[in-house]
């Protein structure tokens, strides 16, 4: 059975995110080296990086003085982003506003947002 692009990409994206959450930042060359040793193709690694960038979960920057490109975790909303359902979604590649698969019609995303709001409200009430 042939794997679809989404099936092959989503586990890689999740693995890449897991590595970055542990390290917080890593040299781009080192990131490629790690995943190429696992048998991943460069184009799939690049696509996984692009997905995380599009979700504003990571950003690239130049290493201070070294000239190395770094990939860093962006703490946009905190630890809650780790549970973002989009990362493991089979429809991620096809998802977009107004498309058949869209964030505005996604039950999993809606539940995640509702739970996030509830947790934040509870935290505000405790403070």
What does the pLDDT profile of the chain (127 residues) look like in tens digits? 334 334 334 788 888 888 888 888 888 889 999 999 999 999 999 988 888 888 777 877 765 655 567 777 766 556 677 788 888 888 888 888 888 888 888 999 999 888 888 887 887 777 6
CATH: 3.40.50, 1.10.10, 2.40.50, 2.60.40. Which one for 5-126? 1.10.10
pLDDT at 127: 60
Residue spans of the domains in the chain: they are 5-126
pLDDT at 98: 84
Tokens of 75: 């703490």
pLDDT at 42: 92
Q: Which of 14, 8, 69 is nearest to 39 (CA)?
A: 8
Rounded-to-10 torsion of CA 75, 87, 91, 3: 140
Strands lying side by side in the sheet with 69-73: 25-27, 69-73, 58-62
Task: State the sign of the Cα–Cα–Cα–Cα dihedral 125, 123, 108, 51.
Answer: positive
pLDDT at 5: 39
**Cβ within 8 Å of residue 34, ≥6 positions away:** 19
pLDDT at 37: 95
pLDDT at 78: 63
pLDDT at 35: 93
């Amino acid at each position: 059975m042939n794997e679809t692009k989404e099936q092959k990409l989503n586990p890689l994206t999740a693995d890449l995110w897991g590595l970055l959450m542990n390290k917080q930042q890593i040299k781009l060359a080192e990131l490629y080296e790690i995943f190429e040793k696992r048998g991943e193709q460069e184009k799939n690694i690049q696509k996984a990086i692009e997905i995380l960038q599009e979700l504003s979960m990571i950003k690239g920057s130049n290493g201070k003085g070294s000239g190395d490109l770094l990939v860093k975790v962006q703490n946009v909303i905190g630890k809650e982003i780790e549970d973002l359902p989009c990362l493991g979604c089979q429809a991620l590649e096809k998802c977009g506003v107004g498309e058949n698969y869209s964030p505005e019609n996604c039950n999993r995303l809606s539940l995640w947002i509702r739970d996030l709001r509830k947790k934040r409200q509870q935290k505000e009430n405790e403070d």
